[in-house]
C-alpha cells in the first residue's frame, strides 16, 4: 500500500507542534513518576486525556464514529498509549529524561520495519538516508545526554539496562500502532480515534494503577504536571498525531520523534537551567536534516540502484 498523497504542507505545522508537545511530556512524566510511580502516572495521564477528549468528541458530533469502530480503536489505544506510556514512566525512574527522549527517536526505525513487514512498504533510498542521518543525530546527542537527572532513583547497571529496553519496547509499540492505524482506522475522524484510544488505554491501566497507587498523596506540583501531561501532551497531541497520519502517512508522522529530543533539550535549558552547548546545536542541525530527508521535504538525487547520473 503506497503512502497517501500529500496535497499541502499543512502537516508540517502539525509535525513541529507535536514535537514541541511530546518534548515536554518527558519532563512531566519524570515529575509525575517520582511521586506517583510508573503505572499510576501513565494511568492518570490517559485518564485526564480521556476526560478532556470525550466532551470534545461529542461536541464535534463524532461519537457515532467511535461507536461504530470502537473495537479496533480501543485495542490500538493500548499499543499507542497505554503500554508505551507505562514503559516510559518505568524507564524514567532510572534514566534521564534526555536519554529517554533520545531513545524515543528510534520510533521511525521501528515504524519503517513494521511497515515494511506489514505492507511491503520499502522507503526509497533518499528517505532511508534521512532515517540514518536522523538516527546518527540523536545518537550524537545521546552521547552527551546520558547522565541521570538529580531526582532519578539510583539503580544498578542492570536496572538502567531495563530502562533502556523499556524505552525501546515503547518505541516498537508506537511503530506497530502507527501501521495498525493505517490498516484499520483509515477514514475515521482523528478526534474519534484520539478519544477512543485514550479510553482503551485507561481501561488497560486502571486496575494496575489502583493496585499500585502511592500510600502518600502526591504533591500539587506533581498533580499539575500530570494535568498538563494529560491535556496538552496527550489529548491535544494525539489529535494532531492521528491527523498527521491521515495527511502525511505513518512513516512521515513517526519522524516527529526526531524533533522531540531537540525540544527536550530546550525545555531542560529553560526550566532546569541546563546549558545549551554548541554540540547540542550541531546535533539539532543534523536531526533537522534527517527529518527533512525522511519526510520527503528534501530529496537527494538517489535512484533505485544508487546515485543518479546528472546530465552534462
pLDDT tens readout for residues 46-74: 999 999 999 999 998 889 999 999 999 99
Amino acid 306: pLDDT: 44
pLDDT at 162: 86
Dist CA 283 CA 6 (whole Å): 29
**Residue with more model confidence, 269 or 260:** 260
Q: How far, in Å, CA of 162 to CA of 263, rounded?
A: 25
Q: What is the pLDDT of residue 309?
A: 46
- Tell me the C-alpha distance between 102 and 140, whole Å: 10
Closest by CA position to 73, among listed 59, 63, 85: 63
Give the Å distances, CA to CA, from 294 to 33, 73, 228, 290. 33, 28, 30, 6
Q: What is the pLDDT of residue 50?
A: 96
220 pLDDT above the threshold of 60: yes
> For residue 302, what are the β-bridge partners?
307
Please state, for a pLDDT cut of 70, what percent of the chain lies above it: 86
Higher pLDDT, 259 or 74: 74
**Per-residue pLDDT reduced to its tens digit, 75-119:** 999 999 999 999 999 998 988 777 788 888 878 778 877 887 887
- Which residue has better confidence, 250 or 262? 262
Average pLDDT of the residues in 236-256:
81
- Nearest alpha-carbon partner for 152 in 67, 272, 22: 272
Of 307 and 41, more confident: 41
Return the pLDDT at 148. 54
User: What is the per-residue pLDDT for 84?
Assistant: 96
- DSSP category for residue 312: -
What percent of the chain clears pLDDT 90, i.e. is strictly above it? 39
Distance between CA atoms of residues 2 and 229, nearest Å: 34
Which of these, 169, 190, 170, 172, lies nearest to 181 by C-alpha position? 190
131-143 average pLDDT score: 80
Among residues 58, 55, 56, 28, which one has the least CA distance to residue 44?
Answer: 28
Return the pLDDT at 8: 58
With beta carbons less than 8 A apart as the criterion, state whether 95 and 162 touch.
no
pLDDT of residue 151: 56
Q: Give the span between the Cα atoms of 248 and 167, in whole angstroms.
A: 25
Average pLDDT over all residues of the chain: 83
pLDDT, tens digit, 9 for 90 and up, residues 165-204: 899 899 999 989 988 988 888 888 888 998 999 999 999 9
Across 209-258, where does the E strand assignment appear? none
HSE-CB at 121 with a 13 A cutoff on CA atoms is: 19
Amino acid at each position: 500500500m503506497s503512502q497517501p498523497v500529500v496535497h499541502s504542507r499543512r502537516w508540517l505545522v502539525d509535525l513541529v507542534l507535536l514535537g514541541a508537545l511530546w518534548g515536554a511530556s518527558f519532563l512531566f512524566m519524570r515529575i509525575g513518576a517520582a511521586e506517583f510511580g510508573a503505572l499510576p502516572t501513565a494511568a492518570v495521564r490517559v485518564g485526564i486525556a480521556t476526560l478532556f477528549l470525550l466532551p470534545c468528541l461529542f461536541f464535534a458530533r463524532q461519537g457515532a464514529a467511535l461507536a461504530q469502530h470502537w473495537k479496533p480503536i480501543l485495542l490500538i489505544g493500548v499499543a499507542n498509549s497505554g503500554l508505551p506510556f507505562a514503559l516510559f514512566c518505568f524507564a524514567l525512574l532510572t534514566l534521564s529524561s534526555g536519554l529517554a527522549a533520545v531513545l524515543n527517536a528510534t520510533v521511525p526505525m521501528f515504524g519503517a520495519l513494521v511497515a515494511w513487514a506489514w505492507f511491503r512498504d520499502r522507503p526509497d533510498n533518499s528517505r532511508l538516508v534521512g532515517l540514518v542521518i536522523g538516527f546518527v543525530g540523536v545518537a550524537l546527542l545521546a552521547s552527551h545526554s546520558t547522565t541521570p537527572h538529580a531526582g532519578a532513583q539510583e539503580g544498578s547497571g542492570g536496572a538502567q539496562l531495563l530502562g533502556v529496553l523499556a524505552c525501546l519496547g515503547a518505541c516498537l509499540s508506537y511503530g506497530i500502532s502507527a501501521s495498525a492505524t493505517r490498516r484499520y482506522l483509515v477514514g475515521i475522524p482523528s478526534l474519534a480515534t484520539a478519544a477512543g484510544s485514550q479510553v482503551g488505554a485507561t481501561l488497560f491501566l486502571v486496575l494496575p494503577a489502583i493496585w499500585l497507587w502511592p500510600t502518600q498523596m502526591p504533591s500539587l506540583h506533581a498533580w499539575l504536571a500530570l494535568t498538563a501531561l494529560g491535556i496538552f501532551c496527550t489529548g491535544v497531541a494525539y489529535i494532531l498525531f492521528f491527523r498527521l497520519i491521515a495527511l502525511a502517512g505513518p512513516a512521515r508522522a513517526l519522524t516527529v520523534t526526531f524533533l522531540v529530543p531537540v525540544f527536550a533539550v530546550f525545555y531542560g535549558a529553560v526550566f532546569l537551567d541546563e546549558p545549551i552547548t554548541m554540540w547540542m546545536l550541531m546535533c539539532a542541525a543534523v536531526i533537522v536534516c534527517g527529518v527533512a530527508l525522511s519526510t520527503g521535504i528534501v530529496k537527494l538525487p538517489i535512484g533505485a540502484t544508487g546515485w543518479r547520473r546528472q546530465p552534462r
